[in-house]
């Protein structure tokens, strides 16, 4: 039996008796957490706006920075000294340095969860196991980030690549046909790395 736990726009989200949360929607592409972990060119945001994603998606020029670290004490984003801004995901590895603390959108298949879905789902969502399907392909993923309240259906760059969805955060994604599923309370294991379940 399934219970509807949220409705985001026209997208209905259900949770089954076995704990699975699922919906079908389009998919936008998320670059958050990409901080050059494996390739210095793979930063989500750069001061010159030549990052994987547009600076406007990080809150520039309105100054309402979203998804980037503000550790300088002056309201400005923290960078690596070469114009690369450190972006963050909701999931954070404990005890790791800033450059490797967040989930790398360029190399890790992850799903972004709507905050209303996160709130109403039974079980811990951040760090949980997920699956995403599109046009006959299915991949394993981790729930690693939280979207804005009106948005649903976002994937990391790597997840989109694996599903053969246009993977640019600037102009990629698809408008429909992506099936999302996640299992709150069940920790994800991706590339032999076990994720911790992280409560709000």
Q: Are strands 193-194 and 189-190 parallel, antiparallel or unpaired?
A: antiparallel
Given a contact cutoff of 8 angstroms between Cβ atoms, the answer to whether 42 and 106 are in contact is: yes
124: DSSP letter = -
The encoded tokens of residue 85 equal: 């801004």
Residue with tokens 């963050």: 88
**CB 156 within 8 Å of CB 91:** no
Other beta carbons less than 10 A from residue 15's beta carbon: 22
Q: What is the per-residue pLDDT across 103-127, written as a single tens digit (0 to 9) for each?
A: 999 999 999 999 999 999 999 999 9
Q: The whole model's pTM is what?
A: 0.95
pLDDT digits (tens, 9 = 90+) for 10-56: 999 999 999 999 999 999 999 999 999 988 789 999 999 999 999 99
Domain residue ranges of the chain, discontinuous segments joined by +: 2-32+105-194
Q: What are phi and psi of 124, to 5 degrees?
A: -80, 125
Q: Does 2-32+105-194 carry CATH code 3.40.30.10?
A: no
């Amino acid at each position: 039996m399934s219970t509807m736990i949220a409705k985001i726009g026209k997208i209905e989200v259900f949770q089954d008796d076995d704990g699975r949360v699922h919906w079908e929607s389009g998919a936008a592409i998320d670059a958050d957490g990409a901080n050059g972990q494996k390739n210095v060119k793979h930063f989500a945001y750069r001061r010159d706006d030549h990052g994987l994603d547009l600076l406007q998606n990080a809150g520039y020029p309105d100054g309402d920075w979203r998804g980037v670290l503000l550790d300088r004490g002056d309201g400005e984003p923290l960078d690596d000294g070469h114009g690369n801004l450190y972006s963050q995901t909701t999931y954070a590895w404990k005890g790791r340095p800033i450059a490797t603390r967040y989930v790398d959108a360029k190399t890790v298949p992850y799903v972004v969860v709507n905050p209303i879905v996160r709130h109403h789902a039974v079980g811990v969502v951040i760090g949980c196991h997920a699956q995403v399907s599109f046009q006959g392909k299915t991949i394993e993923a981790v729930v690693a980030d939280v979207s804005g309240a009106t948005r649903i259906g976002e994937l990391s760059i790597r997840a989109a690549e694996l599903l053969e969805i246009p993977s640019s955060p600037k102009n990629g994604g698809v408008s429909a046909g992506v099936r999302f599923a996640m299992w709150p309370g069940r920790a994800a294991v991706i590339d032999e790395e076990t994720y911790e379940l992280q409560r709000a």
